[in-house]
Structure 1
């Protein structure tokens, strides 16, 4: 295959494992959605219906236009805007996990997509050519050329020259947990994760707080990863199957 859609992400250059001097027992990296996918799907469905309604309005407005170009332009508009909406509602985060004798640690990061700027640049150019050509048939498409490709061009310029915008879409976090702090292990029945509950001291607290984090993995590896981790836990730590939610985080 020329393209591997599920290719594991490359590790970020700033990554430094806390237990790197210890033998690596297991490690992997993966792209996953660390949010409620049901809500994301509902949002995407609502946006798709809204875009479809707008497309129908466009189709009815340009009723005097040549039929093939009328249909083609509306289909192009629908696919373009729907693709943009999908990239907003179904983003994925990069995860890297490492298991050693002392515990489990992972980092999560999201880089500014390298394809975004070239894609916007080409889309702006292609749509400008299409709208200008269609304006020779119907001058009203000159307005569309200003709004559509013009908007894409402005978006491209703002993303290309705004460092703060790129930093806003770039994240990096590193976490590590020792085996003695883990108090429950669960195989999720509703998501492709192994849920780990642990206790820790918050700043200024004298009593430990219970929290959890998800270990993302492939569906075929979920049972194996959970059973592997189980062998390093303290005796008596519950090992269950349960429906789990997305953790709020520990940052």
Structure 2
């Protein structure tokens, strides 16, 4: 999920393939490395469905309080469930040497799910406790938050990366164009790929930056590649466009 992510420093534990070469730039970033417009559109029907189901559930409640809780809870659940499917982010770690750029990336879904369950239990337990004091017959409602807390404990709360991380590298000094998309703090380096049949195709390697190091990275690349054209415009983002 985009709103619950590990916040530890992964750079020292990455098994860099070119770690023996001095680094000129190193950073990590959380990014939605795909077309965000399409995923935002997919979220709308999920939320609408949750609103409809929540309304039906509210009609079955006997009191106004439980009606509002059922409707609001269903909307919140649908929103969080939908965002967990459409708004996933990827942790990306970059390391640039004087000639090569390496990228390690992975989706920390398990750690995010554990954190979500833990904080859901922390928030819901006091609410359920108040409801139980009002009506002791609702003690069974405490099973939900306790179950969430137990699942979070079993999954572990250590924010660790998944074993299956993707590694990519490129000779960034051979870039033929530098493109900056300020809206998403994204840099694109264009390269030409010559196939065995002699046909040439070009592609962009995308580099996601932190807001505070975006301009710094652009300045470094432009200074290192003074003859390479530089443009500022929107980039088409697909997961396979990554560095």
What range is the shorter-chain TM-score in?
A: 0.7 to 0.9
Q: How far, CA to CA, are the matches of 1:9 and 1:40 in structure 2?
A: 28
- Of residues 171, 177, 183, the one that matches 1:178 is 171
Q: How far, CA to CA, are the matches of 2:119 and 2:28 in structure 1?
A: 31
Long gaps (5+) in structure 2? 156-161
Q: How far, CA to CA, are the matches of 2:12 and 2:74 in structure 1?
A: 36
Who is 2:7 aligned against?
A: 7
Matched, 1:232 2:224: yes
Deviation string, structure 1 residues 180-237 (Cα, Å, up to 9, x no partner): 42111011144221111112345x454543111211112232222111112222x531
Asked if structure 1 preserves the Cα contact closer than 8 Å seen for 2:94 and 2:101, the reply is yes
TM-score normalised over the length of structure 2: 0.72
Who is 1:165 aligned against?
A: none
Q: How far, CA to CA, are the matches of 1:103 and 1:247 in structure 2?
A: 22
Q: How far, CA to CA, are the matches of 1:67 and 1:230 in structure 2?
A: 62
Who is 1:28 aligned against?
A: 27
Q: How far, CA to CA, are the matches of 1:179 and 1:123 in structure 2?
A: 44
- Of residues 51, 61, 71, the one that matches 1:74 is 71
Pairwise CA distance, 1:93: 0.2
Asked if structure 1 preserves the Cα contact closer than 8 Å seen for 2:34 and 2:239, the reply is no
Structure-to-structure mapping, 1:34-183, within 5 angstroms:
34-62=33-61, 65-117=62-114, 171-183=164-176
Q: How far, CA to CA, are the matches of 1:236 and 1:110 in structure 2?
A: 36
- Of residues 179, 192, 195, the one that matches 2:185 is 192
Change (3 A) 1:174 1:136: same
Pairwise CA distance, 1:66: 2.2
| 3-state SS, counterpart of residue 101 of structure 2 | strand
Bigger relative contact order (CA 8 A; separation at least 6): 2
Long gaps (5+) in structure 1? 161-168
Who is 1:166 aligned against?
A: none
Q: How far, CA to CA, are the matches of 1:225 and 1:118 in structure 2?
A: 32
| 3-state SS, counterpart of residue 24 of structure 1 | coil
Matched, 1:221 2:193: no
Pairwise CA distance, 1:24: 1.0
